[in-house]
């Protein structure tokens, strides 16, 4: 089972557990308070950094002496299989890392500040089949909600969690999540505080959209 919490921007905390003898906490892209958001209480054994910008790389905010991954490649930490895949942030913004994670029969993908209008065939091959996709939708510094729709159709995940969009307190000018929901034809998604997911509870057909409260 996995418990997924969104902390705003691109920051997530994912707890994976088989409820018997194994568990791991993964933190992705902790931000600096200059972003306008209060840094949450974060701890974990694994810390993933998609790129070296202040709203994604606040390593000191994470307690627990985590194993830090910030470069492309393949890793195994505490039973979690992780792959870092190079991608473009956008014009003049350099590179980011897309991460896939596999644990407890589930496959996750975090797209970071993706700036590509579409993924290459090589990137798609490396990403593979995905159960839960975390995708930016706010535009300006990343893909927009409409562009995110095309990326989702390329990956075809079971579940989608939008991220990196305008929320209360954020100093950046980003689109709200409503534009993304309109682009994909969803208008009545009820936000949740966290997402609990098991491999046998995934949608059988289509893609479910999950809105998480920060």
C-alpha atoms less than 13 angstroms from C-alpha of 38 in its C-beta half-sphere: 3
Asked: is 2-209 a CATH 3.60.15.10 domain? The reply is yes
The tens digit of pLDDT for each residue in 121-159 reads: 999 999 999 999 999 999 888 999 999 999 999 999 999
The tens digit of pLDDT for each residue in 9-68 reads: 999 999 998 656 678 999 999 988 887 788 888 989 999 999 877 667 788 888 988 999
What was the pLDDT predicted at 184?
A: 92
What token pair was written down for 212? 């998480």
Distance CA 144, CA 106 (A): 27
Domain locations in the chain as residue ranges: 2-209
3-state DSSP of 2-13: EEEEECCCCCEE
């Amino acid at each position: 089972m996995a418990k997924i919490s969104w902390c705003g921007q691109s920051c997530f905390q994912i707890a994976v557990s088989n409820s018997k003898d194994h568990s791991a906490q993964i933190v992705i892209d902790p931000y600096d308070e200059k972003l306008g958001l209060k840094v949450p209480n974060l701890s974990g054994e694994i810390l993933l950094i998609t790129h070296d910008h202040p709203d994604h790389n606040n390593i000191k905010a994470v307690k627990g002496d985590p194993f830090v991954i910030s470069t492309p490649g393949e890793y195994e930490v505490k039973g979690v299989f992780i792959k870092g895949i190079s991608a473009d942030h956008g014009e003049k913004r350099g590179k980011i890392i897309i991460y896939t994670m596999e644990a407890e029969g589930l496959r996750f993908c975090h797209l970071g500040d993706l700036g590509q209008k579409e993924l290459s065939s090589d990137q798609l091959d490396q990403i593979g089949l995905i159960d839960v996709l975390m995708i930016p939708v706010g535009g300006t510094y990343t893909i927009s909600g409409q562009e995110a729709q095309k990326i989702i159709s390329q990956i075809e995940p079971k579940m989608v969690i939008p991220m990196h969009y305008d929320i209360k307190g954020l100093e950046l000018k980003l689109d709200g999540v409503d534009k993304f929901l309109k682009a994909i034809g969803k208008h009545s998604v009820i936000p949740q505080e966290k997402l609990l997911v098991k491999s046998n509870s995934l949608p059988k057909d289509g893609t479910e959209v999950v809105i998480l409260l920060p």
